[in-house]
Every structure is written in C-alpha cells, then in structure tokens.
Amino acid sequence: MPSTAQYLMLSATLFAIGIVGVIIRRNMITVLMSIELMLNAVNINLVAFSHRLADLQGQVFTIFVITVAAGEAAVGLAIMIQLYRLRSTVNVDEVKTLHG
C-alpha cells in the first residue's frame, strides 16, 4: 500500500497540472477539465488524510465535493453550449464579456 507521502505527491502533481491547464489553455472545455482535475487532487488529499487518521469525515466530505463538482461541471457545460450557440467559439480570449 502506498504511503501517505506518495498520495500527497500524486495529489500535488495533479493539482499543479490543473493549475497549468487553467493558466495556459484558452479553450473553456480544457479549463473546466483542469478545474475538475484540481478538485480531484483535493479529494485525494482528503481521502489520504482520512485514512491516515482513521476518521471518516474526510471521506464523507469527499463525496460532498464530488457531488458539488458534478453540478459545477453541468452548469459549466451548459454555459459553454449557450456561448457556443451565441458566438460560435469556446475560446476564452474571444469571449471576454457575458453580455449580449
């Protein structure tokens, strides 16, 4: 079984990849995927510490975070679909404002 330090390194790596994706990429779909990757990195942290401390609160909170992330992804995709219908692009640079 991997140690807590290995899980934390994995989580830090995933979080760093997510941050790089949010900063560098201009496609809204890729940015949303990067945000989801960062949320999953946080979930790995929560589960790792929950397992190490023999406490279930971290695992319960992880389920809550997954639920909120699913809602966030659904709303984000709905906004992207509507923006694509209105402006025919999902590039962050071309869609600076949300007014019509």
What CATH number is given to the structural domain containing 55?
A: 1.10.287.3510
Residue 98 lies in a domain: no
Residue 9 lies in a domain: yes
Query: For residue range 23-65, what is the model confidence (pLDDT) as tens digits?
Result: 999 899 999 999 999 999 999 999 999 999 999 998 999 999 9
DSSP classification of residue 54? T
Q: Tell me which residue of 7, 8, 9, 30 sits closest to 20, measured CA to CA.
A: 30
The count of structural domains within the chain is: 1
Residue 100 lies in a domain: no
91: which 2 tokens? 């590039």
Residue range(s) defining the domain that contains residue 20? 4-87
pLDDT number for residue 97: 67
82: which 2 tokens? 């509507």
pLDDT number for residue 92: 84
Residue 94 lies in a domain: no
Residue 97 lies in a domain: no
Assign 91 to helix, strand or coil.
Answer: strand
Query: For residue range 57-90, what is the model confidence (pLDDT) as tens digits?
Result: 989 999 999 999 999 999 999 999 998 998 888 8
71: which 2 tokens? 């809602």
